[in-house]
């Protein structure tokens, strides 16, 4: 199986260089955002920190990144993930609906592939705003509800989805959580931000590498679609969003 995966990955990389040479993985793009934002971070909260801040193969970069804040706190509800986390020293088990912090604590709050799991985004966004300092920034990376990848994910039944995620991404069951997609379009982000005390700095639609790397015929078709998404016309349907919201003041 390992040789097959390697062959599929090699085929995909060669095809991508021909069809969509400018394509980057969304996590790489989000990492660039974190480096930029963390340069100004005093107190930083990573919301839904899980067992890693960056992909596992970026562990050394993650070690350097976490040193940039005066104080970095990781919060997650899933205790096994918190226990496995290796870079954030200060970790707390908690829920975004009732953050265990006083008002106006953090300069920066970030969240990577978590907001699609929020079941009450208005209440949870208001709670996040409460613990941010005036002038503080919330940055989150999440799937775009209007993208083909999210539409497929919502159509596939749960048991089938779990097997597909393992086959395509090698993600285990314990790393797969319920999704609601209640704050996953630009329109919803702007509406919910306005009702919870945030100002919208920007909402960026970002591309990512394909889902179907392990199925070469589908991978080729997907790369052709991604090439369209890289154009201005395809921008609103790119698979992921990075949103920047600021708490007014200061």
95 vs 93: CA distance, rounded Å: 7
Per DSSP, 196 falls in state: T
Q: Cβ distance 179 to 116 under 8 Å?
A: yes
Tokens of 118: 């929020």
Cα of first residue to Cα of last residue in the chain, in angstroms, is: 56
Name the one residue in this structure whose structure tokens are 């104080």.
Answer: 71
78 vs 66: CA distance, rounded Å: 21
Predicted pLDDT at 166: 44
Tokens of 132: 């941010």
Predicted pLDDT at 170: 53
Which CA distances in Å does 127 have to 192, 197, 198? 12, 10, 11
Q: Cβ distance 105 to 131 under 8 Å?
A: yes
CATH superfamily assigned to domain 2-10+23-246: Vaccinia Virus protein VP39 (3.40.50.150)
Q: Which helix (H) or strand (E) holds 110?
A: strand 106-112
pLDDT averaged per 10 residues in sequence order, the chain, 250 residues: 82 94 96 92 93 92 93 94 94 95 97 95 97 97 94 71 52 65 96 97 95 89 96 96 94
179 vs 117: CA distance, rounded Å: 4
Q: CA-based Rg of the chain, rounded to a whole angstrom?
A: 18
Q: Cβ distance 96 to 132 under 8 Å?
A: no
- For helices 121-131 and 186-195, the axis angle rounded to 10 degrees is 60
191 vs 166: CA distance, rounded Å: 35
Domain residues of the chain, as ranges? 2-10+23-246
Per DSSP, 103 falls in state: S
Q: Is the pTM of this model over 0.85?
A: yes
């Amino acid at each position: 199986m390992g040789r097959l995966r390697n062959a599929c990955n090699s085929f995909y990389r060669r095809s991508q260089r021909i069809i969509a040479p400018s394509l980057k993985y969304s996590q790489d793009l989000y990492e660039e955002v974190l480096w930029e934002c963390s340069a100004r971070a005093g107190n930083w909260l990573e919301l839904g920190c899980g067992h890693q801040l960056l992909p596992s193969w970026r562990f050394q970069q993650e070690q350097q990144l976490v040193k940039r804040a005066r104080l970095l706190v990781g919060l997650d509800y899933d205790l096994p993930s918190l226990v496995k986390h290796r870079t954030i020293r200060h970790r707390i088990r908690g829920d975004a609906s009732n953050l265990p912090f006083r008002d106006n604590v953090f300069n920066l709050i970030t969240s990577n592939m978590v907001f699609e799991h929020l079941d009450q985004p208005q209440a949870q966004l208001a709670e996040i705003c409460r613990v941010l300092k005036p002038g503080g920034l919330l940055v989150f990376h999440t799937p775009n509800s209007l993208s083909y990848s999210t539409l497929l994910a919502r159509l596939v039944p749960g048991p089938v989805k779990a097997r597909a995620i393992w086959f395509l991404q090698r993600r285990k069951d314990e790393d797969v959580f319920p999704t609601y997609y209640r704050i996953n379009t630009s329109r919803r982000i702007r509406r919910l931000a306005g009702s919870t005390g945030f100002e919208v700095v920007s909402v960026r639609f970002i591309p990512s590498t394909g889902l179907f790397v392990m199925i070469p015929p589908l991978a080729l078709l997907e790369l052709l679609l991604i090439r369209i998404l890289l154009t201005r016309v395809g921008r609103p349907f790119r698979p992921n969003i990075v949103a920047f919201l600021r708490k007014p003041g200061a």
